[in-house]
Structure 1
Amino acid sequence: MTQQLLMIEDDTRLASMVGEYLRQSGYGFAHAATGTAGLEALQATPPDLVILDLMLPDMDGLEVCRRIKGRGGDAARTAVLMLTAKGDPMDRIVGLEIGADDYLPKPFEPRELLARIRAVLRRGGNSNGNGGGAPADGHKVMRFGSLEIDRDARAVTVSGNPCELTSYQFDLLVALAERAGRVLSRDQIMEAVRGRELEAFDRSIDVHMGRIRSAIEADAKDPKRILTVRGVGYVFAKQQD
């Protein structure tokens, strides 16, 4: 089944170029020039991924992302890849805090956009997260006390209660859990997830860790599962509740 993409971008020339490239790469593609039109299109037919520009004529792209992630049903599970022409890392951090799955600064190469889209969709598993049906036997489930991480179902629970994580946050958690007891630097963690080196001082990793802690820790301010090693990075504790 063809995966569907929606680009919310007011630069129609750019959207046309990107759309042609992505269609040739095997994706379905739709375009909306405003945030309002994009939200209406998403509500009518939720795509697998939204390519969202930060600067839109009618509303801030961050507000569009917030509304996408705040909706119920399939729309809330739609992955969001933000595009930004701004150099301020705070834009990325805020976007990631409200649920964006990845970001890409402008100008960008179409091939890099395609690679990012594929990576986000691959992390997200089946289209819209609801195409897998009932779990099959033989799932690879990691258990740490009351915490369970089901890699096949891409689900996390604590004492049987589901934890809400983005696809990227789930992969970050898995990368740490698979290396329990081993201290990892920020760039090692991001390389494990994305498969390539990124800037070691990219603080977006800290934002994601904060979100993961809020989801799986009894007290995110006093974490027992994901510990910070000052000046180095993070470690996933082997011994837990």
Structure 2
Amino acid sequence: MAKVLVVEDEPAIAESIAFFLRRDGFGTTVVNTLADAERELPRADLVILDLTLPDGSGFELLSLARRSAAGPAIIVLSSRDSEADRVAALETGADDYVTKPFSPREVVARVRAVLRRAAGHAVATAPSDLPPAPVAAPLALQVDESTRRAHVRGQEVDLTRVEFDLLACMLAAPGRVFTRPQLIDRVWGDGFAITDRTIDSHVKALRKKVVEAGGDAALIETVRGVGYRVTDRPAQDGEGSKGEA
């Protein structure tokens, strides 16, 4: 049974989420402060996290959880719906971002999807008798599926789970344009409700980290009205945009 930690200081919201989680078979613990959340964090497989808490910011818990590679998955639940807040949470290590108001059933669906993706990562990175086989595109960007590490011109890029999966998906076919629905299907799974805006936020965060590691923003190209691709070829007039999400 997966253990879910709900960190939310509004009792009605916390009780609603906990009810649906427990009904679906999840072991659920509810806390309403940052201090209690830090104590419960080591026992959680997934955290549903409000960013505004009475004794601190949810970003502190995000940073704490990401200090360990074995830390829990995190879904941010927040009334902040600006792109800046969404990108900041994703860059800090959130696996998903849900804005209030929300449907508790949707939150449970997202919990299942994030845990399913995390379980797939554990299988993919399990020890093997075979030597690791890097999956690398003939570009400046490279990913190694066996170690789940990404590099740009030899410099490691510190990515979240979702960012790595998005990059690996696009690097599987360099130069191919992936539509947002295709990325959602390949990264999150069939039937998962996620918006184009969330995809754009993840790609923006991914591109920013690539640039900070010494890469070019043009390596992850936006094709207007279509989607995204990884390329080492500059965008042509009217074809794409290398700098916007």
Amino acid at match of 2:160: T
Amino acid at match of 2:203: D
Could you tell me which residue of structure 1 aligns to residue 32 of structure 2?
A: 33
Amino acid at match of 1:207: K
1:193 aligns with 2:179: no
Amino acid at match of 1:236: V
Deviations, residues 161-219 of structure 1 (Å, cap 9, x unaligned): 8653222112211221233221234454345423457544554133332255258xx62
1:121 aligns with 2:118: no
User: Aligned match of 2:77 in 68, 83, 89?
Assistant: 83
Could you tell me which residue of structure 1 aligns to residue 9 of structure 2?
A: 10
**Native 8 Å contact 1:51 1:80 kept in 2:** yes
1:173 aligns with 2:173: no
CA distance in 2, matches of 1:157, 1:209: 11
CA apart distance, 1:36: 1.7
Deviations, residues 208-238 of structure 1 (Å, cap 9, x unaligned): 32255258xx623x25753444665432238
CA distance in 2, matches of 1:160, 1:124: 26
Could you tell me which residue of structure 1 aligns to residue 242 of structure 2?
A: none
| Mapping 1:143-154, distance limit 5 Å | 143-145=136-138, 147-150=142-145, 153=146
Deviates more, 1:185-194 or 1:89-98: 185-194
CA distance in 2, matches of 1:197, 1:112: 8
Could you tell me which residue of structure 1 aligns to residue 240 of structure 2?
A: none
Q: Secondary structure at the match of 1:125?
A: helix
Amino acid at match of 1:9: E
CA distance in 2, matches of 1:200, 1:58: 33
1:57 aligns with 2:54: yes
1:99 aligns with 2:93: yes
Q: Secondary structure at the match of 2:81?
A: coil
Q: Cα 1:17–1:229, aligned 2, differ >3 Å: closer, same or farther? A: closer
**Native 8 Å contact 2:7 2:49 kept in 1:** yes
Amino acid at match of 2:9: D
**Native 8 Å contact 2:125 2:148 kept in 1:** no
Deviations, residues 15-55 of structure 1 (Å, cap 9, x unaligned): 2332232122122211211112101221xx34111100122
CA distance in 2, matches of 1:197, 1:41: 29
Q: Cα 1:64–1:130, aligned 2, differ >3 Å: closer, same or farther? A: farther
Q: How many residues align?
A: 227
Amino acid at match of 1:56: L
Deviates more, 1:109-118 or 1:8-17: 8-17
**TM-score between the two structures when normalised by the length of structure 1:** 0.76
Indicate the RMSD between aligned Cα atoms, in angstroms.
3.4
**Native 8 Å contact 1:190 1:205 kept in 2:** no
CA apart distance, 1:103: 0.9
CA apart distance, 1:135: 2.8
Q: Cα 1:136–1:116, aligned 2, differ >3 Å: closer, same or farther? A: farther
Identity within the alignment, %: 32
Structure 1's unaligned 5+ residue stretches are: none
CA distance in 1, matches of 2:106, 2:43: 24
**Native 8 Å contact 1:92 1:103 kept in 2:** yes
Q: Secondary structure at the match of 1:168?
A: helix
